[in-house]
Amino acid sequence: MKKIFFILFVTLSASCLAKQNAIEDKIMIKAYSWENKGYRVGKAEQCMNWTREVLVAACGTKFQELQTMQPWDQQFLGKGDELLPEHADSLASTEFGKKINLVEETKAGDLIFLKNTYGNWQPGVITHVGIATGNGKYIHRMTSNKGIVKEQKIPLEEFSGAIRLDSKLCK
């Protein structure tokens, strides 16, 4: 009887792992298709729009407007700060997957969130988002590099956390 349960457990675990790897592969193929290309050059607040475009292409249209009203940086936001889908923190919530707290634990396909990368925001506010590529790197679109999508090392001092998306969110 124990053997049957073990086989069932291994089969289910392998199925879940294969599904998660398929999601990561889809996301990475779409993200890398943008590498060294411009994305909405000259326009601000485009990191999340680029990230969403990758997620829509990889996982479906639900990512066009999917957002949390309770991002993990909410305690740092001002009273008048509006939460919108184009903001970097709009997917920074455990309702979309497992939160990863250490850069070393990130894997390709995880959403990477950085704090205090620009502006006069309160310390701790998430201001940038990209997609982990593995080995402590991520691919992202920054305003400061004229809108070119690049793979770079994740800056440890600005790392706020990551989300490993729940496989149910990706078709």
Residue-level pLDDT at 139: 97
* Nearest of 113, 139, 115 to residue 54 by alpha carbon: 139
Output the pLDDT for position 147: 83
Domain hosting residue 130, numbered range: 2-169
Element (H, E) at 151: strand 149-153
Whichever domain contains 67, its CATH number is 3.90.1720.10
| Cα 59 to Cα 169: distance, rounded to the nearest angstrom | 7
| pLDDT < 50 positions in the chain | 2-19
Instruction: Identify any residues that bridge with 35 across adjacent strands, giving them in sequence order.
Output: none
- Can you give the pLDDT at residue 82? 83
Domain count, the chain: 1
Pair 169, 151: CB distance under 8 Å: no
Number of helices (H) and strands (E) in the chain: give both, helices first. Answer: 2, 6
